[in-house]
Amino acid sequence: MKEKNVGQTREHPIDQLARSFLDEIVEFVKLIPFIEKFVPVLALLIMSRPMIIAAVAITPACSAFLANNGFPPIRRSLLGLICLCLAIASAHIFNDFCDADVDRLNRRTQLRPIVLGLIKRKTALAVSIVLAVLSLDLAFFLNLTCVFLLAAGIFLIFTYSAKLKKTQIGFLPPALAAFLIPLGAFAAYDSAQAFCKVSIAIGLAGFFFELVPYWSQTLPDVGGDRSRGLKTISVCHGERTAAAFIFLSFAICLVFLLYLYKIALLSTPYLLFTTIGGGLLALFLLWFILRPNARNALISYFSSLFFIAAISLIIIVEMALPTLTELWNQFLMSQ
């Protein structure tokens, strides 16, 4: 009779592969001279979540092209992008500062820099505040509307990390911040455009879309969230209710995306992708209500992010195409 090793769990092959890959990177980084002196800086970079910042930036980029009906001015666009990136990095670092004690208890977050002692909590807090202030200072070179919208977004996310995350309305600050981002992108070029029909439509689509990945990523963590005292929809009302809210949020988002097609006079490819792609994703989310498990939650999370990224890219290409075509024609004529 074979004895079972009590308490031992077999590591998933993907976990082994990821650990092996990361070990190779770590060994390479160790070869860099004086790298240990830059550990706190690298820790802050990791805490800022550069991959998430890059993913979030596509929405204001799409809004910038719509606001200018084509390529936006480079200088103002870069300045606006820097302000947004600094604000998001500040929010991420502040979130790790607030969650340091809880992160020590969760397997998924036990390797975060503050937990490992790679950087002090007070240092992380100071850097977070400095980045937030710097982003607001730079926003003054755009206009006061951008300063106001950026300050509102920073306040919402800081309040979320410090307090509201553990309440039943914890989903509101990220959703409201997503609503403000397109408004800020429009305001960067003209304050009067901040609250035009197109910017409001994108903002409302962003508000309801943000709830889809937000609730999707909380559904697999019901046990951990309950032990942490987080009052997510899944914890308070059950996974099926959470899945129903995810479907409803995406359906409303889809309505605003179709309304955007009408008021912004977008192309047929946009309409086809929004209708077909959005319809298929909506059908999956409807089925998700019947099968509200962790696997389907992750599919919902990544599928929704892919969908909104594709929508944004279609708009950017459509707005940029006339200018690119004109430049190409000029190039051919010059030959």
- Considering only CA atoms, which of 255, 250, 242 is closest in space to residue 210? 250
pLDDT of residue 85: 92
Q: Count CB neighbours of 280 within 10 A.
A: 12
- Could you tell me if 291 and 231 lie in one domain? yes
Read off the tokens for 103: 């992160």
Phi and psi for 280 in degrees, rounded to 5? -65, -40
Model pTM score: 0.84
pLDDT of residue 26: 67
Binned average pLDDT, 10 residues per bin, the chain of 335 residues: 47 67 69 74 85 82 90 90 93 86 65 79 92 95 93 93 83 92 92 91 94 86 72 83 94 96 92 95 95 89 92 92 80 76
- Considering only CA atoms, which of 233, 227, 169, 181 is closest in space to residue 207? 181
pLDDT of residue 3: 45
pLDDT of residue 311: 94
Where residue 260 sits, what CATH number does that domain have? 1.20.120.1780
pLDDT of residue 205: 95
Positive or negative: CA dihedral 267, 268, 269, 274: positive
- Could you tell me if 205 and 279 lie in one domain? yes
- Considering only CA atoms, which of 81, 66, 87 is closest in space to residue 190? 66
pLDDT of residue 11: 62
Q: Where are the alpha helices (DSSP H) in 106-238?
A: 113-116, 121-139, 144-162, 172-187, 197-218, 222-228, 233-237
- Could you tell me if 69 and 181 lie in one domain? yes
Question: 247 lies in which domain range?
Answer: 196-324
- Could you tell me if 169 and 64 lie in one domain? yes
pLDDT of residue 166: 77
Where residue 154 sits, what CATH number does that domain have? 1.10.357.140
pLDDT of residue 6: 44
- Could you tell me if 179 and 201 lie in one domain? no
- Could you tell me if 159 and 82 lie in one domain? yes
pLDDT of residue 4: 45
pLDDT of residue 331: 74
Q: Which of 162, 177, 194 is the last residue before a domain boundary? A: 194
Q: Determine contact, residues 258/266, Cβ cutoff 8 Å.
A: no
Q: Which of 173, 194, 215 is the last residue before a domain boundary? A: 194
Read off the tokens for 114: 């503050």
pLDDT of residue 206: 93
User: How many domains are contained in the chain?
Assistant: 2
